[in-house]
Structure 1
Amino acid sequence: MNVIEVKDLRKEFTSYSSRSGLKGAFRDLFTRNYKILRAVDDISLQVKQGEMVGYIGENGAGKSTTIKMLTGILTPTSGEVMVNGMNPHKEREKFVQTIGVVFGQRSQLWWDIAVQESFRLLKKVYKVSDEDYDTHMKEVIETLEIGPLLDKPVRKLSLGQRMRCELAAALIHNPPLLFLDEPTIGLDVLVKMKIRGFLKEINRKYKTTILLTTHDLADIEALCERVVLLDEGSIIYDGRLDELQKNWVEGKQVHFEFQHAVEKSQLEEVSTHFDVKWRCGERENQWIAMIDGDDDAISKLMSQVMLHHSISDVKINRVSTEEIIRNIYEEGINHG
């Protein structure tokens, strides 16, 4: 069963520009210069029940605009949207009962009242029974470790404390679908780990479907098997994260630290028989080989380099997802 069904979804915005000078301002009173900006460009997407999907891309790629259309905040310019079997814009009151939303830079909690009072207000909004609230929220509060925060005003919470409370607030009605837009932005490592662990647990226990947008690709690696990669409003990759890691970019990096200065041309000369790219490391006399091949190829490359140059240190790393994404954007790939 598909929880999210999107076909040829498009969102365009009209952008007005002002002419310079007094004469230009006068002309703007009668005629305006404008252009159409396409934030989301005819995307199609299906998400099954229980999936945890990473929706990623650079700033301005169209991630948040897509989320806002899927949650009914924005009306699409064209295309079809069905979420939880409903049109988010035409069945809004019924639809919002079936989703939870966390925007990392916007709060759904009331700033000046205690957290538990915000929870009680949201309980009324979502028409959650006392029994369901007590059973479900007791577990959420314990897992997120927010019990001591419930009687504090939201304005007195740290960012990490507030985000854990925001996540709990989004789950008061135990929705089958959760939208998370930058939920760990600005948080320290321990808080991120707590939130990731909690999301895994609700996905396992309730089969909660989660669509996650984030710039922290460690969140994606920890939570999502599937990623959807967006560029300039179009989907350029939709598939398993491990396939992206395996197919798009070399899977291993070999970090060489040399005892003396070495030029890139010298390294290329001794590695002509290997499918390898060289780039400068962060430290002095450090070079990184990004090699496409199995362990045997890596071993032979290391032997060849060490035969010609003195090495003080060498180590092998898997290419990070962050670097994979960066390389995809830098090298460019066909849309589709």
Structure 2
Amino acid sequence: MTSVPLTTPVIDARGLGRDFTRVSGPLLRRRRERVNAVHDVTFSVAPGEIIGYLGPNGAGKSTTMKMLTGILSPSHGRVRVCGLEPSRQRTLLAGRIGVVFGQRTTLWWDLPLRDSLALTRHLYRVPAADHAARLAELTELLELGPFLATPVRQLSLGQRMRGDLTAALLHAPELLVLDEPTIGLDVVSKSAIREFLLRLNTEQGTTILLTTHDLGDVERLCRRVVVIDHGSLAFDGDLARLRATAPTPRTLVVDLAGPADPIEVAGARTVRVEGPRQWLELSANPAEVIAAVAGAHSVADLTLREPDIEDVVARLYSSGRAAAGAPRREDPVSG
């Protein structure tokens, strides 16, 4: 397998766009109209980067991913992935990339995980010795041993995700494309997946493109984020600059011992009250606010909630600092 030279982007998208035809109206008076799902998206990913490709539902993330992996052909612009044109060289590209969709599985439902991974070897035509060495390495890193003999349908969501990651990595791809890899996972499973991805990137130099709604994934994994909204590129930079561009406050959820008047402390504003539970929007250091609340009230529980990516993107647009001239589209067709 020939790797992409270090000077060549693993992903290079220029003016990328995808149109769909939408049919509406009564049966005998059908109307057809062209809808831009993705419009004039330009970005590149260097070898060894971990990029968060973010945006709310319907923003165009899934459509972009399908173009990058060759499932869809672009209507406009061009894209190269690992030096290949995805839609025309899809079979070649499949041997160079790994893809994991958090809500779907590539494993065989009724087979033990070990047998599913053996079939994956044949799909990618991986030599037996290479497969055995790679599987042993991934089994150790992802702690697959206790459930390799378990049918996939009996695996927990976290175990299945680790199996899907293994299947996507057995042929040693240069690029790993992840769509919501931690969706629905518990805190422990999320942490295990994140640490594995960091190690994969650091030790093996695997380039990772990640879509997620979980800012915890982004903060732990990504130095750079690309935000798409209404099919157009809204932001490309590091997470700190995104937060500075579209500051979105954290929320402190306070469960008091009983119903009380809205909490008043410096650095926070109570935005919602339901019985003994109150929601405080923070404008100061969370530790200082928590200390003030705990010192003045009888607290049963506290939860600090990070803003989700939809809130960040909404702020990005409402601030008027989205990419200059980026056109918006109505009724998004695909996420």
TM over 0.5: yes
How many angstroms does 1:312 deviate by? 4.6
Query: Please, which of 19, 43, 46 is the counterpart of residue 45 of structure 1?
Result: 43
Q: Determine if the alignment matches structure 1 residue 328 to structure 2 residue 288.
A: no
Give the whole-Å Cα distance in 2 for the aligned partners of 1:162 and 1:113.
12
Tell me if structure 1 keeps the 8 A contact 2:316–2:322.
Answer: no
* 1:228-243 correspondence runs (5 A): 228-243=226-241
How many angstroms does 1:320 deviate by? 3.5
Tell me if structure 2 keeps the 8 A contact 1:262–1:285.
Answer: no
Letter of the structure 1 residue corresponding to residue 133 of structure 2 = T
* 1:287-298 correspondence runs (5 A): 288=280, 291=283
Q: Determine if the alignment matches structure 1 residue 166 to structure 2 residue 164.
A: yes
Letter of the structure 1 residue corresponding to residue 213 of structure 2 = H
Greater gyration radius:
1
For the structure 1 residues 14 and 318, does the alpha-carbon distance in structure 2 shift closer, same or farther, using more than 3 Å as the test?
A: same
How many angstroms does 1:243 deviate by? 1.8
How many angstroms does 1:119 deviate by? 1.2
Aligned residue in 2 for 1:55 = 53
**Percent of residue pairs bearing the same amino acid type:** 41
Uncovered stretches (5+) of structure 2, i.e. residues with no partner: 1-6, 290-294, 324-335
SS of 1:238 mapped into structure 2: strand
SS of 1:108 mapped into structure 2: coil
Aligned residue in 1 for 2:211 = 213
Query: Please, which of 9, 14, 21 is the counterpart of residue 14 of structure 1?
Result: 21
Tell me if structure 2 keeps the 8 A contact 1:250–1:319.
Answer: no
Tell me if structure 1 keeps the 8 A contact 2:24–2:31.
Answer: yes
More divergent stretch after superposition (97-106 vs 323-332): 323-332
Aligned residue in 2 for 1:5 = 12
* Cα offsets for 1:40-93 (capped at 9, x unmatched): 111001111111111111110001110110000111111110111111112222
Q: Over aligned residue pairs, what C-alpha RMSD do you find?
A: 3.4
Give the whole-Å Cα distance in 1 for the aligned partners of 2:56 and 2:242.
17
Aligned residue in 2 for 1:22 = none
Give the whole-Å Cα distance in 2 for the aligned partners of 1:197 and 1:255.
28
Give the whole-Å Cα distance in 2 for the aligned partners of 1:193 and 1:290.
26
Bigger relative contact order, structure 1 or 2 (CA pairs below 8 A, ≥6 apart):
2
Tell me if structure 1 keeps the 8 A contact 2:213–2:308.
Answer: no
Q: Which has the higher helix share?
A: 1
Q: Determine if the alignment matches structure 1 residue 104 to structure 2 residue 102.
A: yes
Give the whole-Å Cα distance in 1 for the aligned partners of 2:219 and 2:52.
9
Aligned residue in 1 for 2:3 = none
Aligned residue in 1 for 2:140 = 142
Tell me if structure 2 keeps the 8 A contact 1:56–1:227.
Answer: yes
Give the whole-Å Cα distance in 2 for the aligned partners of 1:194 and 1:105.
18
SS of 2:95 mapped into structure 1: helix
Give the whole-Å Cα distance in 1 for the aligned partners of 2:252 and 2:188.
30
Aligned residue in 1 for 2:4 = none
Superposition TM-score, scaled by structure 1 size: 0.79
SS of 1:90 mapped into structure 2: coil
How many angstroms does 1:215 deviate by? 1.2
* Cα offsets for 1:127-167 (capped at 9, x unmatched): 21222212222111111111222222222222222111011
Tell me if structure 2 keeps the 8 A contact 1:245–1:321.
Answer: no
How many angstroms does 1:18 deviate by? 3.8
For the structure 1 residues 228 and 319, does the alpha-carbon distance in structure 2 shift closer, same or farther, using more than 3 Å as the test?
A: farther
Give the whole-Å Cα distance in 1 for the aligned partners of 2:96 and 2:126.
12
Aligned residue in 1 for 2:197 = 199
Tell me if structure 1 keeps the 8 A contact 2:60–2:230.
Answer: yes
How many angstroms does 1:321 deviate by? 5.0
Aligned residue in 2 for 1:76 = 74
Give the whole-Å Cα distance in 2 for the aligned partners of 1:241 and 1:287.
25
Letter of the structure 1 residue corresponding to residue 320 of structure 2 = I
More divergent stretch after superposition (323-332 vs 82-91): 323-332
SS of 1:163 mapped into structure 2: helix
How many angstroms does 1:236 deviate by? 0.7
Letter of the structure 1 residue corresponding to residue 13 of structure 2 = V
Superposition TM-score, scaled by structure 2 size: 0.79
SS of 2:10 mapped into structure 1: strand
SS of 1:89 mapped into structure 2: coil
Count of aligned pairs: 306
* Cα offsets for 1:200-246 (capped at 9, x unmatched): 11001111110000111211111111111111011111100122223
Aligned residue in 2 for 1:305 = none
Give the whole-Å Cα distance in 2 for the aligned partners of 1:254 and 1:104.
29
Give the whole-Å Cα distance in 1 for the aligned partners of 2:151 and 2:268.
54
